[in-house]
Amino acid sequence: MRALAVLLMLGCVQPETPPTPAKPAPVKDATVVRDARQWTEAQRTEIGRRRKRLVDLQAGMRRRHYGTQGHVEPPAGMPTDLRGVWPPDVESRVVSVGLHRGMGLSKPAPGRFRLMTRWLTPLSEAETRAALQRHLREIGWLGPKEALSFPLANPAKGRLAARFITHPERATAVEIEFERPDPGSPLPAPEALLGETPAWLKAVAPDIVGFEFDWHHGVVPRGKFTDVVRFALTLKGDPSVLTESLRRRLDEGGYLVDAKNEKIYRGPGRTTCRAVVVGEALVVHHQRHWKR
Contact 205, 285 (CB under 8 A): no
**Do 86 and 170 belong to one domain?**
yes
- Among 165, 185, 205, give the residue marking a domain's end: 185
**Do 172 and 195 belong to one domain?**
no
How far apart, in whole angstroms, are the C-alpha atoms of residue 46 and residue 31? 15
**Do 145 and 201 belong to one domain?**
no
Share of the chain above pLDDT 90, in %: 60
Angle at Cα 84 formed by Cα 83 and Cα 87, nearest 5°? 110
pLDDT score at 273: 95
What average pLDDT does this structure show over 37-47? 73
Q: Which of 3-7, 91-95, 172-176 has the lowest mean pLDDT?
A: 3-7
Strand (E) positions, 168-292? 170-179, 208-217, 227-235, 256-257, 264-267, 271-278, 281-290
How far apart, in whole angstroms, are the C-alpha atoms of residue 272 and residue 147? 45
Q: Which of 53-57, 83-87, 261-265 has the lowest mean pLDDT?
A: 53-57
- Model-level pTM? 0.78
| Kind of pairing between the strands at 152-154 and 271-278 | unpaired
Does pLDDT of 5 surpass 50? no
**Do 102 and 172 belong to one domain?**
yes
